């Protein structure tokens, strides 16, 4: 039997021991269920001053059949606070006055969503300071949440309030179960925002390419995007042809055996997508490898293979993919918390995954990409339960699982849900974002 700290403390003597010693006990997270409510209870909506975004949130929640509360109570499962109108640090008292009491009664798996404006557009030093304070408060709230709850900050650019629905829905829902302490930036949409006819099918009619789809996170991405209505073009190396075909057949999509580092990989994906599906709306660059060693022991082969698969292949494939993609499409790249915080023994991997972040931000601002109305975003997973992490030695694995605000590892579906959110046509106001799916891991920024 494989030892798991999470299972050990979930009952019996392990639970008693953990309680008496004050050890962390992971809560069951609230994940998305098809046909389920957006949130299983009421949402408290409040704000500072004229709080223009709170009004929109109020309307969108009512439209989604969610009860809106104006006072904390045990039936409240989410709190949305609009602080877009704060002017000075003194105004932060509004946040304390609303969120503090609400946390005392917030139901398990609760959500705190704070909405502000970008500090860099503030126009005065005091306003910049106040706006920047929100990041510190929200990250702290994330660390104080109990019962599998999360807290996130949404920074909405001036004049971009109409683009918030996708992000507010995502953060309140079970789709964001393992996303906490993050900052989401909503700007001017790159193309018309299109709300889906059915929010359980936000990708209906879309064609999605997923690389590394034969197993692990890639297979979960394919499953999740297909569940949400997309047709899947699943890509993986010929050696993974069997499991790749299983994924594609299960989802009624198609499989393409391909090494993403091949010179013509992008062109072959385009050709296959055109012939089999008629085009490409969504590209998820998920294929990735690790070849861990201390830098002192890393030879040129180990260095180069990781950079080629994780970074260079994406740059090359995008040269063929971007011009061929349908207008208004979405590219989502898979980075890693190692690319943000660095990791001992992973200098090659961290270089590649940090490069993915740079590429994401640059491509989001690229003229051709903007002219086509394509969004480009990245997810940075933390400790996710996959075959890759199952091979990590026991002690390191248990530490990896526990060193985050939710005291547990994430599931591949958690990464997939965030990727799905980036791929919604309802979400064309979010581009150039990097979101960690790490349960607010202790390591790194
Ligand atoms: N598991 C984690 O905790 C974690 C954390 C952070 C980031 N990530 C990233 O998430 C992504 C998926 O990771 P995973 O844990 O599912 O890994 P995995 O090893 O289980 O799956 C990776 C898939 O990519 C495929 N692949 C590898 N090289 C390829 C190539 N040259 N061409 C085509 N396909 C190729 C593999 O065959 C495999 O099916 C990777 O980019 C990884 O770096 C994972």
Q: pLDDT tens for residues 77-109? A: 999 999 999 999 999 999 999 999 999 999 999
Compute the distance between CA of residue 357 and CA of residue 380 in angstroms, rounded to an integer.
Answer: 9
| Averaged pLDDT, 27-45 | 96
Please tell me whether residues 270 and 345 are part of one structural domain.
yes
Which of 153, 182, 150 lies closest to 86, judged by CA? 153
Mean pLDDT (the chain, rounded): 95
* pLDDT for the residue numbered 1: 42
Domain membership of residue 195 (yes or no) is: no
Which of 177, 92, 173, 88 lies closest to 138, judged by CA? 92
Q: Is residue 386 lining ligand 1, measured as CB closer than 6 Å?
A: yes
Q: Is residue 253 lining ligand 1, measured as CB closer than 6 Å?
A: no
Please tell me whether residues 178 and 261 are part of one structural domain.
no
Q: Is 90 exposed, middle or buried (0-12, 13-18, 19+ CB in 10 A)?
A: exposed
Please tell me whether residues 259 and 182 are part of one structural domain.
no
- Closest ligand 1 atom to the C-alpha of 261? 31
Residue range of the domain that includes 109: 26-186
Compute the distance between CA of residue 329 and CA of residue 316 in angstroms, rounded to an integer.
Answer: 18
Which of 47, 102, 40, 99 lies closest to 66, judged by CA? 40
* pLDDT for the residue numbered 23: 63
**Atom 1 (ligand 1) nearest CA:** 384
| Spacing, Cα 131 to ligand 1 middle (Å) | 37
Please tell me whether residues 180 and 226 are part of one structural domain.
no
Domain membership of residue 158 (yes or no) is: yes
Compute the distance between CA of residue 305 and CA of residue 29 in angstroms, rounded to an integer.
Answer: 36
* pLDDT for the residue numbered 445: 47
Residues annotated catalytic, as ranges: 349
Please tell me whether residues 293 and 422 are part of one structural domain.
yes
Which of 148, 165, 147 lies closest to 156, judged by CA? 165
Domain membership of residue 76 (yes or no) is: yes
* pLDDT for the residue numbered 20: 65
What CATH number does the domain containing 106 carry? Answer: 3.40.50.720
Query: How many domains does one find in the chain?
Result: 2
Please tell me whether residues 136 and 258 are part of one structural domain.
no
Domain membership of residue 218 (yes or no) is: yes
> Dihedrals φ, ψ of 193, to 5°?
-80, 130
Domain membership of residue 192 (yes or no) is: no
Please tell me whether residues 170 and 104 are part of one structural domain.
yes
Please tell me whether residues 407 and 268 are part of one structural domain.
yes
* pLDDT for the residue numbered 427: 97
Q: pLDDT tens for residues 115-134? A: 999 999 899 999 999 999 99
Q: Is residue 284 lining ligand 1, measured as CB closer than 6 Å?
A: no
Please tell me whether residues 381 and 427 are part of one structural domain.
yes
Q: Is residue 383 lining ligand 1, measured as CB closer than 6 Å?
A: yes
**Atom 40 (ligand 1) nearest CA:** 288
* pLDDT for the residue numbered 237: 98
**What does the block give as tokens for 442?**
């202790």
Compute the distance between CA of residue 43 and CA of residue 81 in angstroms, rounded to an integer.
Answer: 10
Domain membership of residue 8 (yes or no) is: no
Pocket test for ligand 1, best of 241, 248, 288, 338 (most atoms within 8 A of CB): 288
Angle between helices 241-251 and 216-227 (to 10 degrees): 10
Pocket test for ligand 1, best of 289, 352, 414 (most atoms within 8 A of CB): 289
- Closest ligand 1 atom to the C-alpha of 335? 7
At 208, is the secondary structure helix, strand, or coil?
strand
Domain membership of residue 144 (yes or no) is: yes
pLDDT of 11 > 90? The answer is no
DSSP H or E segment with residue 133: helix 125-144
Compute the distance between CA of residue 61 and CA of residue 80 in angstroms, rounded to an integer.
Answer: 11
Distance, CA of 10 to chain centre: 27
Q: Is residue 409 lining ligand 1, measured as CB closer than 6 Å?
A: no
Please tell me whether residues 222 and 309 are part of one structural domain.
yes
Compute the distance between CA of residue 44 and CA of residue 94 in angstroms, rounded to an integer.
Answer: 14
Domain membership of residue 10 (yes or no) is: no
Please tell me whether residues 169 and 44 are part of one structural domain.
yes
Please tell me whether residues 279 and 145 are part of one structural domain.
no
Q: Is 35 exposed, middle or buried (0-12, 13-18, 19+ CB in 10 A)?
A: exposed
| Spacing, Cα 216 to ligand 1 middle (Å) | 7
Out of 156, 186, 216, pick the residue that ends a domain.
186
Q: Is residue 373 lining ligand 1, measured as CB closer than 6 Å?
A: no
**Atom 44 (ligand 1) nearest CA:** 381
């Amino acid at each position: 039997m494989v030892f798991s700290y999470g299972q050990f403390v979930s009952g019996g003597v392990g639970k008693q021991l953990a309680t008496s010693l004050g050890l962390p006990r992971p809560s069951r997270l609230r994940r998305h269920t098809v046909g389920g409510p957006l949130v299983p209870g009421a949402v408290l909506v409040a704000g500072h001053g004229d709080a223009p975004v709170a009004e929109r949130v109020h309307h969108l929640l009512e439209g989604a059949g969610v009860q809106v509360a104006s006072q904390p109570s045990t039936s409240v499962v989410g709190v949305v606070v609009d602080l877009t109108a704060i002017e000075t640090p003194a105004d932060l008292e509004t946040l304390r006055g609303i969120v503090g009491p609400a946390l005392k009664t917030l139901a398990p798996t609760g959500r705190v969503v704070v909405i502000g404006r970008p500090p860099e557009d503030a126009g005065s030093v005091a306003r910049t300071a106040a706006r920047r304070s929100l990041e510190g408060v929200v990250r702290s709230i994330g660390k104080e949440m109990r019962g599998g709850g999360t807290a996130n900050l949404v920074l909405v650019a001036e004049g971009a309030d109409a683009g918030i629905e996708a992000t507010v829905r995502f953060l309140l829902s079970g789709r964001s179960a393992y996303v906490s302490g993050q900052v989401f930036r909503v700007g001017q949409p790159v193309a018309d925002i299109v709300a889906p006819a059915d929010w359980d099918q936000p990708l209906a009619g879309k064609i999605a390419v997923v690389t590394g789809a034969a197993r692990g996170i890639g297979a979960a991405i394919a499953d999740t995007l297909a569940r949400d209505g997309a047709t899947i073009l699943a890509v993986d190396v010929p050696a993974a042809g069997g499991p790749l075909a299983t994924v594609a057949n299960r989802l009624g999509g198609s499989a393409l055996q391909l090494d993403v580092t091949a010179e013509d990989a992008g062109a072959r994906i385009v050709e296959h997508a055109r012939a089999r599906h008629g085009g490409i709306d969504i590209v998820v660059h998920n294929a990735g490898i690790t070849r861990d060693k201390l830098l002192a022991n890393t030879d040129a082969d180990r260095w180069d293979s990781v950079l080629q698969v994780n970074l260079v292949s994406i740059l090359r494939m995008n040269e063929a993919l971007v011009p061929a993609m349908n207008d208004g499409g979405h590219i989502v790249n898979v980075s890693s918390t190692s690319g943000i915080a660095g990791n001992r023994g992973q200098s090659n991997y961290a270089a590649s995954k940090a490069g993915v972040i740079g590429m994401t931000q640059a491509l989001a601002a690229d003229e051709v990409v903007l002219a086509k109305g394509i969004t480009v975003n990245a997810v940075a997973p933390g400790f996710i339960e996959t075959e890759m992490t199952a091979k990590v030695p026991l002690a390191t694995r248990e530490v990896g699982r526990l060193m985050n605000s939710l005291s547990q590892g994430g599931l591949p579906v958690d990464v997939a849900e965030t990727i799905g959110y980036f791929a919604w046509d309802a979400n064309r106001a979010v581009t150039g974002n990097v979101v960690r799916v790490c349960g607010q891991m202790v390591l790194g920024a």
